Amino acid sequence: MEHVIIIGGGGTGAALAHDLSLRGFEVSLFEKGGLISGTTGRHHGLLHSGARYAVHDPEAARECARENAILRTIAPGVIEQNGGLFVAIDDADLSYAREFIDHCRRCDVPVREIDPRLALSMEPALTPGIRCALEVSDATVDAWRLPLQFFATARAEGAVIRQFSEVTGILRTGDCVTGVMVHDHRRQINYDVTGDMVVNAAGAWAGLVSGLAGIPLPIQPAPGAMVSLKGRLTNRVINRLHSPGEGDIIVPQRNLTILGTSIWHSDDPDSYDVPPEDVERLIDACAVMVPAVGDAALHAAWSAVRPLLGTGDAADLWQASRDFECYDHAVTDHLEGMVSVIGGKATTMRSMAEETADLICRKTGRDIPCRTATETLLSYRLFYRSES
């Protein structure tokens, strides 16, 4: 079968290595750092129900709802199946509720209105003043171990996974990509790898990778800060019932509580800034929903860089789509043999891989159905049983 080279060892690359291996392709994946050392591992761990996006980004909402249900069945051991609530605090939140529920239903996102008193008994840390509570199927996912399950399964299926191996160039003959140049940081050597197809799955770094081939990509690195607090303040994920904005997600993660998030423009996917003022604003905004947030001890603050679709001219980054796109560079740039998959969310890593693998099947004339929606993933621990 054809040899597919994947650039990027985050969630998308992990799910794609699994999908393509399962369809019978020969797969080699290259990651410049350690596995899952970019955006995926740093996300807040919210397995979205889809509700957050229902009003302004219905495609992303539908996708999240479908993937949420699939990941719960194929990777149960790395998901706290804890559920989530959207809570209205003020009049503006309350007036948003009807539109929110309608859009959720239209997007097939399960949502159930519950008595605020019941919500308070379920989550005693909520502010007593909540006006309305909606139950959704959010969950907390282990952001490192879910992609590692994809890697473990891909490796067992024969995929070659190379970390600390940086793609430094794209090999081409005329208008056709024929492989990649790789720098091995372990042994300080360079080598070439030839393949039938190269997939750019570098997330927020995808623009740098496509730049190696001299082609532009509509990608907007958009960092956001996150805060973790000591102690698990709620059992469920708590969301503010309003149009998505800053500091409106509280994700309990084992014995920690994660607050998300802020957003800003950046041209630099390697941005590691954590603005102290963002940390303060996140704590203040989340304390409106769960007052104990204001008293909890700070555990860590960090930032992660979202790989948003677009060219950076979106006036409101909160409204920019969280959907993803596969680019066949033969169509967009007259460059055969290279595909880029950009955008998306950790929740949709599997479906991003499915769509990309479908495209690769079409391009290679293969008619092989995707099986990743029903194949249970191997334990992440098995990744280390086959270390190469």
Partner 1 sequence: MKGRHIIFRILRYKESVIDPPQFQDFELTVTVTMTVLECLERIRREQDPSLMYRKSCHHASCGTCACIINGTERLACVTTVLALDTPVVTMEPLRGFRCIGDLAVDMTDFYRHISPDWSYLTPVAPDEGSGALRFEDCIECGTCLSACPAMERECPFMGPAALALIHREIKKSPDGKESLLSLAGGPRGEKWCERALHCSRVCPSGVYPARHIALLRKMLGK
Contact 43, 143 (CB under 8 A): yes
C-beta of 1 vs 122, nearer to partner 1: 122
How far apart are CB 288 and partner 1 at their closest, in Å?
A: 22
Our finding on whether 124 is near partner 1 (CB under 8 A) is no
Binding residue (CB under 8 A) for partner 1 from 24, 59, 77, 319: 77
How far apart are CB 335 and partner 1 at their closest, in Å?
A: 27
For residue 269, the SS3 value is coil
Nearest to 28 by CA among 202, 173, 197: 197
Contact 209, 167 (CB under 8 A): yes
Please identify which residue in the block is written with the tokens 């194929």: 74
Our finding on whether 164 is near partner 1 (CB under 8 A) is yes
x-or-dash string of contact with partner 1, 234-273, rule CB under 8 A: -xx---------------xxxxx-x-----------x-x-
Separation of alpha carbons 63 and 366, rounded Å: 25
Residue 269, CA atoms < 13 Å, CB-side half-sphere: 17
Our finding on whether 211 is near partner 1 (CB under 8 A) is no
C-beta of 253 vs 372, nearer to partner 1: 253
Beta strands in 2-121 (DSSP E): 3-7, 26-30, 46-47, 79-80, 84-88, 111-114
Our finding on whether 138 is near partner 1 (CB under 8 A) is no
Binding residue (CB under 8 A) for partner 1 from 301, 314, 317, 368: 301
Q: Which stretch binds partner 1 (CB under 8 A): 143-151, 169-177, 340-348, 350-358?
A: 143-151
Our finding on whether 70 is near partner 1 (CB under 8 A) is no
Q: Enumerate the β-bridge partners of residue 305.
A: 223
Separation of alpha carbons 215 and 207, rounded Å: 9
78-107 residues near partner 1, rule: CB under 8 A: 78-83
Separation of alpha carbons 251 and 270, rounded Å: 25
Our finding on whether 334 is near partner 1 (CB under 8 A) is no
Our finding on whether 282 is near partner 1 (CB under 8 A) is no
Site for partner 1 (CB under 8 A): how many residues?
Answer: 55
Give Cα 82 distance to the centre of its chain: 19
Please identify which residue in the block is written with the tokens 């190379």: 162
| DSSP, res 36 | T
Q: Which amino acid is at 218?
A: P
For residue 319, the SS3 value is coil
Binding residue (CB under 8 A) for partner 1 from 49, 220, 228, 348: 228
Our finding on whether 281 is near partner 1 (CB under 8 A) is no
Our finding on whether 122 is near partner 1 (CB under 8 A) is yes
β-pairing, 165-173 vs 176-184, is: antiparallel
Count of residues in the chain: 388
Our finding on whether 187 is near partner 1 (CB under 8 A) is yes
How far apart are CB 305 and partner 1 at their closest, in Å?
A: 12
β-pairing, 3-7 vs 26-30, is: parallel
x-or-dash string of contact with partner 1, 356-375, rule CB under 8 A: --------------------
Binding residue (CB under 8 A) for partner 1 from 132, 170, 377, 378: 378
How far apart are CB 152 and partner 1 at their closest, in Å?
A: 9
Q: Which stretch binds partner 1 (CB under 8 A): 12-20, 46-54, 295-303, 341-349?
A: 295-303
- What H or E segment, with its residue span, contains residue 346? none
| DSSP, res 203 | G
10-49 residues near partner 1, rule: CB under 8 A: 33-37, 41-42, 45
Joined together, the tokens standing for residue 291 give 């007052």
Joined together, the tokens standing for residue 24 give 């019978």
How far apart are CB 380 and partner 1 at their closest, in Å?
A: 8
C-beta of 94 vs 181, nearer to partner 1: 181
- What H or E segment, with its residue span, contains residue 96? helix 91-106
How far apart are CB 302 and partner 1 at their closest, in Å?
A: 4
Q: How far apart are the first and last CA of the chain?
A: 22
Q: Which residues of the chain form contacts with partner 1 (CB under 8 A)?
A: 33-37, 41-42, 45, 76-83, 122, 142-145, 164, 185-188, 226, 228, 231-232, 235-236, 252-256, 258, 270, 272, 274, 276, 299-302, 304, 378-382, 384-385, 387
